[in-house]
Structure 1
Amino acid sequence: IYVGNVDYACTPEEVQQHFQSCGTVNRVTILTDKFGQPKGFAYVEFVEIDAVQNALLLNESELHGRQLKVSAKRTNVPGMKQYRGRHPNPYSGFRSRRPFMPGPPFYPPYGYGRVPRFRRPMRYRPY
């Protein structure tokens, strides 16, 4: 299920305890942004299918003084990958109208095609 308006200070354990009465909680995922800050919503996965219906009854219930918005989980859009742990690569997993999006353009160091003085092959100058 999707749980919205989750307090930023809320832990997955607290969310699990809140939904424990509905059925056996398999997993709680509080989504975070790229800086590791909570986005304010979570996904709760139950072992039993009928637990989802019980959990939907907890819509607008309070946790940490905030009114939760509980709804059946929307499935992920195909092509969007869920990342765990490591930082996601901003150039992968995003499908746009253009068939190929290259990464950041590669610029040769020290301007355009100019070889810096210390990188040029040294010519021997006797005088």
Structure 2
Amino acid sequence: MNDLYDNIPKASVTNEPSLVSSDIADEELEAMKARVQEMESEAAMLREMQAKVDHSMYSAEEDKETIDARSVHVGQVDYDSSPEELEAHFQSCGAIHRVTILCDKFTGHPKGYAYVEFAKPSFVNHAVALDGSLFRGRLLKVTPKRTNVPGFTARGRGAPYNYRGR
């Protein structure tokens, strides 16, 4: 039986604190401090990146009116059409930056209208000339894109929905 206890270090058998365990605790504490410092530096870097993204989004908000000024709304778009086909249809108007066909977020099916963003606002007039043109068997309705104004609806600002003139 004594042979079993001979291999165990004496500090672990007795209840006295040992220098080995305090050294291990100090190393673990230093490792934790280093990890906390690393996490704080990562958090600072993430805050800096978020500030850059917020700034770019804010500048994009300012440019929204200029983007809308060089875009058109296309209605009566065939549900099976692709952005490439619409781009080919409007290519004669000028250089195109983006074609967006809106889809229902729940079903994923197209809603039947699209937006075409051109490189220059002058190309919008050429695109509006294609109003009533035939695309995949349907007559397109092309209008200049309008900028949404928050709080303004077709009923007017602040008018109740079911107002009956009382």
Q: Shorter chain as normaliser: what TM range?
A: 0.5 to 0.7
Name 1:36's counterpart in structure 2.
Answer: 108
**Structure 1 regions of 5+ residues with no counterpart?**
80-127
Is the counterpart of residue 26 in structure 1 residue 26 in structure 2? Answer: no
Q: Give the deviation of 1:77 after TM superposition.
A: 4.0
* % identical equivalent positions: 58
The whole-number CA distance in structure 2 between the counterparts of 1:77 and 1:8 is: 28
TM-score (norm 1): 0.60
Match of 1:13, as an amino acid? E
> Normalization by structure 2: what TM-score?
0.46
Deviations 1:66-109 (A, max 9, x none): 00000000223437xxxxxxxxxxxxxxxxxxxxxxxxxxxxxx
How is 1:97-108 mapped onto 2 (pairs within 5 angstroms)?
Answer: none
* Partner secondary structure for residue 147 of structure 2: coil
More helix by share: 2
What number of residue pairs does the alignment pair up? 81
RMSD: 1.7
Q: 2:147 maps to which residue? A: 75
Larger radius of gyration: 2
Moved over 4 A (4+): none
